[in-house]
Structure 1
Amino acid sequence: MTLFAEQNDSLIIIFTRYPVPGKAKTRLIPKIGAINAANLQKMMTEFVVSQVKKTKIPFKIKYFGGTKADMENWLGSSIEYSEQVDNDLGEKMKNAFEEGFKSGFSKIVIIGSDCPDLRADLILKAFQSLEKNNCVIGPAKDGGYYLIGLNKPNPKLFENIDWGSEKVLNQTISKIKDYKLLKELNDVDEFEDIPKKISVIIPTLNEEDNIEKVIQQTNEGFNVETIVVDGGSSDNTVKKALDLGVIVVKSKPGRALQMNKGVKISTGEILLFLHSDSVLPDNWDVCIRETIVKKQVLLGFFKFKISEDFTGKKIIEFGTNIRANLFKKPYGDQGFFIRKNDFFKLGSFPDVPIMEDLFFVKKAKSCGKIACTDEYLQTSGRRWKKYGALKTTYLNQCVLLSAFLGYDLNRIKDAYLSGKNPLFPIR
């Protein structure tokens, strides 16, 4: 993600507005109110700035509303700011490009602050496209664009455009032959465009070695809250989670009990149940929202991958993905996600000591569609490394068989945790 980190001929210009209630995201005010609309503008701008910083490419901010002092107090004094002085959006962008090229930059990309699905990797891809094309455009679903980049001045691109209409993209590309289109994304203009909030629920018990990494990843998502439900850890799990600013609630131990408790205090429309030793894919939040909407799923999950290397790893990954994708029988370590309303319709996780994920999936299959994303979630291979790939696989199958035969679930759990076969007396 740092392909252009050493280049000093590239520049990113962010167009944004100072978030004054009543003047920011005005089309959203009738639905969410002036203060919430301004807060959304603030949140989206801060998120875009965080993504731009990841690219390591120099950037500046062109702002409207407020003062330079307001912007510095908000986003920091180390950023270069300049006020948008023209009324016409086309004039603003044309002048921004001209200023950038006169300053010595040879590749310039302008982005807005209304597209939280725009991430650092796509911004870098835009600059990569400018190596071979004179123009790169990120098309928005409303007929406009969320990004435009040039490697030489082209003022005609911003003349005689019906700004704010669904004609913007087509009118723009009709003026140029050498261009590259990026992935189509969604600008936030209407209430329906706001990305649904995701509540990430992580049950923990003595996970101080893993909890920081997974929370750092969840914190990188847009419009996300992370809830750690701790089952009585005796290590620094709770402290580390609190230090990272997430919600922490204590619970009696038991994965199902902990996850259900997390749901009760969640405020998101979408739930993601995540193990503390998981490694999420890049842009995981976008992936979840797209999967739920595009595939119209009741329950979604990620492809399976193991973090560590050991003998038999590839076979386990292949078998797990076949079972999950073909037979729609994923396990909880693949990161279940579901709309909160649908979660309650399914009756939450069953209050059982083990295999709550299997019981939940079985019920979900009878009620709706289950689908896998195109991205991988990595899980720890510590259990396979501890007991060996062959033995662990054998014991896992014995656990499933013992449950099928009606063995006591507490006995199965004890055997699972101690690496023993639940089909035989545990000693």
Structure 2
Amino acid sequence: MRAPISVIIPTLDAADVLPGCLSALMEGLEAGLIRELIVSDGGSSDATGALGQAWGAQVLHGDATRGGQLRRGCAAAQGDWLLILHADTRLQPGWSGRMRDHLMADNRAGWCRLKFDGGGVPARLVSGWANLRSRLGLPYGDQGLLLSRELYDAAGGYPDIPLMEDVAIARALRGRLTGIDVTAVTSAEKYRQRGWLRQGARNLWTLLRYRAGADPARLARSYRG
């Protein structure tokens, strides 16, 4: 039987962090769980694409909208299950067995428990809020998402938008999401650069504007600016 999971990673100038993400996935390859690695790149100017190829990934190229990158990656995937990961997220040891248990026993989409790679008390507070928000049905992309191809198609897939694609698919999967006992460690760099309170407030304000109907392209410009 062929391995069930296709891993899709959206990237943009991710050469510094991609090796850590891919290294953590080797556990799944050794366990016969991962069928293929797909790096969906948005026009990197660094060695992201070459690194992906060196690790045996299929590298796709297209516009730098994360929703579009994920949509392209999922369209190319051949696995019965899709594992969506950000390039700066590393699954912690033991993840493969727990994900195998999930896909054998549960047809819901699964998200991982979030942890930051530093930051002390502020990091624990932000990750605690993120994990609570996820239990309420709104996991973000940096927590990883494991879902069957059938469920992905039924939800309509990722919309081709530059921001909030994770919120959009979580809303489409409402009632069909659950936590998996896996820790996903993600980078705290943007919080370190911008400040934990400021970045947290920016994330919440962006979410509220999106839920109120703001244009994702405008939100992306404001968020990244």
Q: TM-score, normalised by structure 2?
A: 0.92
After superposition, the Cα gap between the structure-2 partners of 1:410 and 1:204, relative to the gap in structure 1 and judged at 3 Å, is: same
- 1:292: Cα distance to partner? 2.9
Please tell me the residue identity of whatever aligns with 1:383: K
1:292 aligns with 2:99: no
Root-mean-square deviation over aligned CA pairs: 1.5
1:209 aligns with 2:16: yes
Unaligned runs of 5+ in 1: 1-193, 419-427
1:245 aligns with 2:56: yes
Distance in 2 (CA, whole Å) between partners of 1:253 and 1:308 is 28
Unaligned runs of 5+ in 2: none
Higher helix proportion, which one? 2
Contact (CA 8 Å) 1:399, 1:412: kept in 2 or not? yes
Tell me the residue number matched to 2:44: 233
Structure ID, larger Rg = 1
After superposition, the Cα gap between the structure-2 partners of 1:397 and 1:223, relative to the gap in structure 1 and judged at 3 Å, is: closer
Distance in 1 (CA, whole Å) between partners of 2:76 and 2:211 is 34
Matches within 5 A, 1:5-404: 194=1, 196-221=3-28, 222-224=32-34, 225-294=36-105, 296-310=106-120, 312-325=122-135, 327-365=136-174, 368-404=175-211
Distance in 2 (CA, whole Å) between partners of 1:409 and 1:261 is 18
CA offsets 1:283-304 (integer angstroms, 9 cap, x no match):
323222212333x242111001
Contact (CA 8 Å) 2:52, 2:59: kept in 1 or not? yes
Tell me the residue number matched to 2:220: 413
Distance in 1 (CA, whole Å) between partners of 2:159 and 2:190 is 24
- 1:217: Cα distance to partner? 1.9
Count residues with an aligned counterpart. Answer: 221
CA offsets 1:292-338 (integer angstroms, 9 cap, x no match):
333x242111001111224511111111111112x121111110110
Structure 2 residue matching 1:279: 3-state secondary structure: strand
Please tell me the residue identity of whatever aligns with 1:348: G
Distance in 1 (CA, whole Å) between partners of 2:89 and 2:129 is 19
Please tell me the residue identity of whatever aligns with 1:337: L
CA offsets 1:122-179 (integer angstroms, 9 cap, x no match):
xxxxxxxxxxxxxxxxxxxxxxxxxxxxxxxxxxxxxxxxxxxxxxxxxxxxxxxxxx
CA offsets 1:251-271 (integer angstroms, 9 cap, x no match):
221111111111122121110
Contact (CA 8 Å) 2:107, 2:148: kept in 1 or not? no
Tell me the residue number matched to 1:104: none
Q: TM-score, normalised by structure 1?
A: 0.50
Identity of aligned residues (%): 29
Tell me the residue number matched to 1:51: none
